[in-house]
Homo-oligomer: A and B are copies of this chain.
Amino acid sequence: MSKRVKEILSYYGSDSPGTLSNLARMLNHGRLGGTGKMVILPVDQGFEHGPARSFAPNPPGYDPRAHFELGIDAGCNAYAAPLGFLEAGAAEFAGDIPLILKLNNSDSLYGGSDPCPAITGSVGDALRLGCSAIGFTIYPGSADRNEMYGQIRDLAEDAKAAGLAVVVWSYPRGSGITKEGETAIDVVAYAAQIACQLGAHVEKEKPPSDHIMQDAARKVYEKEGIPVGTLADRVRHVVQSAFNGRRIVIFSGGPAKGHDEMIEEIKGIAEGGGYGSIIGRNSFQRPKAQAIELLHEVMDIYANA
């Protein structure tokens, strides 16, 4: 095992050999295997946004096998999806790529300002499908945040006891948060801290803007002169907020965007010390060859960071 992966594993001193093995499995798999960086393929948009909005731009994606194949062929560190999508390929592709079972999901047929996803899978499901980790979304700032925190705490305890790793999507949203605040640097850093304190091994955040939402935080940012001018600065602060870099923080790509804009963003994340990216729509909504090309370009930025 590479020195860097060994070092990262050393951050997780309270975890069992089982969980460490699953973390290692993800860190050592694929094109970035051994670098300590990760690019994960997540496909939960079928549930979250609906099938046509997710898969019509690249229709092979209606077939759940396409995403396993993309993750494997692009050399991603892991593939994350809800129960149905994993059930539809876990046997056929057993052992080909580490899997992360998303245990909660929201659909967009019902609105509401304070999201609290449905529980859509279990630790038992993750085990029977041969997964390396469970995934879970929390929405700090939602009126129901405490329900989500309590759910992931329960699930994480069970997952750790079963030797699985825990990946938390920590997305500020809800009536406690302004629209601009969802990506504000103080809020994203706080969201990373919450996920770490809840016992996550890997946190996923959105790339933060230079907006500061909380008055009480703004005073500190100004007084202490915390640099937030560039994306690299901000990513550095989020990584710092994730136990000073001793927890794996990766960043989402957000809605499909142009190639250059995306590459620019990845460079900022890499420069700021981010552990990697989780890239959904920007990969699976492109034809497979183009998606692999783009993912490789992204991976190479991280490999050389």
Please list the residues of chain A having a beta carbon within 8 angstroms of any beta carbon in chain B: 11-15, 46-47, 49-53, 56-57, 59, 62-64, 82-92, 105-112, 116-122, 124-125, 128-129, 140-143, 145-147, 149-150, 153, 157, 172, 174-177, 186-187, 189-194, 196-200, 214, 216-217, 220-221, 224, 226, 237, 240-241, 243-244, 246-247
* A262→B192 CA distance, assembly (Å): 32
A46:B109 contact, CB within 8 angstroms? no
* A213→B82 CA distance, assembly (Å): 25
- Name the residue on B nearest A111 (C-beta): B176
Q: How many subunits of this chain does the assembly comprise?
A: 5
| Residue of A50, A108, A224 with most partner-chain B CB within 10 A | A50
* A153→B216 CA distance, assembly (Å): 34
B contact residues around A56 at 8 Å (CB): 220-221, 224, 226
B157:A50 contact, CB within 8 angstroms? no
B51:A241 contact, CB within 8 angstroms? yes
- Known contacts A118-B150, A190-B50; is A199 also within 8 Å of B109 by CB? no
* 18 residue pairs A–B, Cβ–Cβ below 8 Å: A11-B88, A13-B90, A49-B216, A50-B193, A51-B241, A52-B217, A56-B221, A62-B243, A83-B198, A83-B199, A84-B247, A88-B243, A107-B140, A107-B194, A110-B140, A118-B145, A120-B153, A124-B157
A107:B153 contact, CB within 8 angstroms? no
Least distance between A131 CB and chain B CB atoms (Å): 11
B contact residues around A244 at 8 Å (CB): 62-64
* A67→B83 CA distance, assembly (Å): 35
A13:B91 contact, CB within 8 angstroms? yes
Least distance between A103 CB and chain B CB atoms (Å): 9
* A193→B83 CA distance, assembly (Å): 12
A190:B107 contact, CB within 8 angstroms? yes
